[in-house]
Structure 1
Amino acid sequence: MVRKTSRVVIACAAMGVVLPVSGAPVASAAPGVGEYVALGDSWAADASLTQATGEFAPLGCAQSRGSYAKQVAAALAVPVFRDATCGGAMTVNMTAPQQVPFGVNPPQFDRLTPSTDLVTLEIGGNDAKLAVTVQQRLTADPAVSPCLDTLVAGDVDQMSVNIAAAEHKVTASIEGIRQRAPRARILLLDYFEGVSTGPGCFPTVPISDADADWLGRKLIELNAMLARVAQATGVELVDTYSTSAGHDGCQPPGTRWVEGLVPWSSDPPGPAVPFHPNQLGADHQARRVLAVLGG
């Protein structure tokens, strides 16, 4: 979901050690899928350094070879699979190219065809500027609340304004998918619990308790918006949030499904993208997608 990925981080990805993917889900009972296209941002790409791949998109997109989309495609033995996901993507990048380190990711909709029969979409976090807010409001003083101080004034919560403004953009993205792939079954994913409501875990994640609680509530608000879009457009919502409690970035290695500030993961061991799913998180997303497809 990160809006910008530094060239230094992506350079590390280029040199990262490729490790085996563990915890791959078993095949679902879903009917045969002939052509699957994955769309979305870095939480759809499951942005990775140790498992970064340029097979489907420029290496600068930081796609993980263990991402949920790739796991779903493998579990369903999909004959034609295209992964357009890219770190930093916004809804505008469905129809416009995205400049990334080491290349340009073409408009994500370019991967859709009239024969596409399955599409997963995870988008909206960057449009709402939630991801970049997390990174820009880190603090060395647990007594201050830069998120609340800069984004909430009186009755106006700028993040709520951003989320509301993103709603029609996500809706338009789904309409664009239908125009290009009228046969496709469309699954819209929300974002699982990377940050929870209530007190944070300063200094492990250097965000004050007040800001951590606010961010947790904004994530719920973002997911509620995505649920409204799914209902209004008639697509299927993949709820990854409600089943992810207790796996946020404050939890210890082996329990957390998203990394905190320290750019190191134990799942798999090696450098990681802060505030993004690790392999355990990607496995969770894959299980939830397959559960919906098999339902």
Structure 2
Amino acid sequence: MVGKTARVVIACAAAAMVTAGGGAPVASAAPAFGEYVALGDSWSADASLSQATGEFVPLACAQSQGSYPKQVAAALAVPVFRDATCGGATSVHMTGPHSVPFGVNPPQFDRLTASTDLVTLGIGGNDAGLAATVQQCVTGDAALSPCLDTLVDGDVDQMSLNIAAAEQKVTATIDGIRQRSPRARILLLDYFEGVTTGPGCFPTVPISDADADWLGRKLIELNAMLARVARATGVELVDTYSTSSGHDACQPPGVRWAEGLVPWSSNPPGLAVPFHPNQLGADHQARRVLAALGR
């Protein structure tokens, strides 16, 4: 997921991006899969500014050299690997082109073939609008709750409605993968705990306690929707959330797996995309995917 502020940071910093190593797990001796395709939004691209790469997608997709798909591909030693993940992607960008600053990411499904036998998918957060909403919650006054004030009216929670509406889109995405790659083992990832329920940490992350708690609950709703889709479609859900408690953006460097509003990461040191995984978060996702694959 990438919101408006993050896209502006990406566009301004694209020319200054540098590459760095990703700390991938050790490759296994015999490949279990022949063709691996990674699909998804910025939480699958593990959006980065300090170690972004244009190897597979336009540079402004902010795809990290140390992203979990690249770690998984290295650990599995897959002969063919294509990474279509891109910051800001929605389900629309599975079948349609995605315009980003200075380039276009082709439809992500274009990377799928009849011989693809492994697919990881991380999608839904942008379809529900949760990424943009996180940035709407930012405030300079801890007494204000801009998200609750604008998105909740009595018993009507607009974000809950958005999440429910995204369910059909994620389902259709999985159906589209199966049509193009009927042999593929499909792993659907949820979103780990970048924000948590309960009080926030204003002003370190400038979101009021009420809005922080609401965001944490909306993330749980989003992940519950993804779990329903996985059950209904028969794909495997990779649960990255339940094993990520205590590593949200409010935690100190070296402990947090996602950054806050300040676009700087200590893991690795350098420019970061606000409210997105750092390298520790990407490493966690890779471990969970490999565990699901029995590695």
CA distance in 1, matches of 2:249, 2:8: 24
1:202-221 maps to which residues of 2 (within 5 A)? 202-221=202-221
Structure-2 residue corresponding to 1:191:
191
Q: Secondary structure at the match of 1:127?
A: helix
Structure-2 residue corresponding to 1:14:
15
Q: Secondary structure at the match of 1:119?
A: strand
TM-score, normalized by length of structure 1?
A: 0.97
CA distance in 1, matches of 2:279, 2:79: 24
Residue 13 of structure 1: CA displacement? 3.6
CA distance in 2, matches of 1:29, 1:92: 37
Structure-1 residue corresponding to 2:136:
136
1:215-294 maps to which residues of 2 (within 5 A)? 215-294=215-294
- Judge conservation of contact 1:36–1:82 (CA < 8 Å) in 2: yes
- Judge conservation of contact 2:31–2:77 (CA < 8 Å) in 1: no
Q: Secondary structure at the match of 1:294?
A: coil
Alpha-carbon RMSD across the aligned residues, in angstroms, is 1.4
Q: Secondary structure at the match of 2:237?
A: strand
CA distance in 2, matches of 1:30, 1:275: 37
Residue 50 of structure 1: CA displacement? 0.7
Residue 7 of structure 1: CA displacement? 4.5
CA distance in 2, matches of 1:3, 1:208: 19
CA distance in 1, matches of 2:208, 2:122: 28
TM-score, normalized by length of structure 2?
A: 0.97
Residue 124 of structure 1: CA displacement? 0.3
Paired amino acid for 1:82: R
Identical positions, percent: 82
Distance 1:228 1:8, change over 3 A: closer
CA distance in 2, matches of 1:30, 1:166: 38
Q: Secondary structure at the match of 2:60?
A: helix
- Judge conservation of contact 1:28–1:291 (CA < 8 Å) in 2: no
CA distance in 1, matches of 2:262, 2:15: 19
Structure-1 residue corresponding to 2:105:
105
- Judge conservation of contact 1:28–1:293 (CA < 8 Å) in 2: no
Paired amino acid for 2:183: R
Q: Do residues 95 (structure 1) and 75 (structure 2) align?
A: no
1:50-129 maps to which residues of 2 (within 5 A)? 50-129=50-129
Q: Secondary structure at the match of 1:126?
A: helix
Distance 1:28 1:247, change over 3 A: farther
Paired amino acid for 1:204: T
- Judge conservation of contact 2:120–2:186 (CA < 8 Å) in 1: yes
Distance 1:45 1:80, change over 3 A: same
CA distance in 2, matches of 1:98, 1:282: 23
Residue 10 of structure 1: CA displacement? 3.1
CA distance in 1, matches of 2:80, 2:177: 17
Residue 8 of structure 1: CA displacement? 4.4
Paired amino acid for 1:92: V
CA distance in 1, matches of 2:258, 2:14: 18
Per-residue CA shift, 1:115-143, capped at 9, x if unaligned?
Answer: 00000000000010011000122101101
Q: Secondary structure at the match of 2:128?
A: coil
Residue 2 of structure 1: CA displacement? 1.1
CA distance in 2, matches of 1:27, 1:286: 13
Residue 63 of structure 1: CA displacement? 0.3
Unaligned residue ranges in structure 1 (runs of 5+): none
Residue 257 of structure 1: CA displacement? 0.3
Distance 1:8 1:130, change over 3 A: closer
- Judge conservation of contact 2:240–2:284 (CA < 8 Å) in 1: yes
Paired amino acid for 2:122: E
CA distance in 1, matches of 2:108, 2:3: 16
- Judge conservation of contact 1:3–1:89 (CA < 8 Å) in 2: no
Residue 174 of structure 1: CA displacement? 0.1
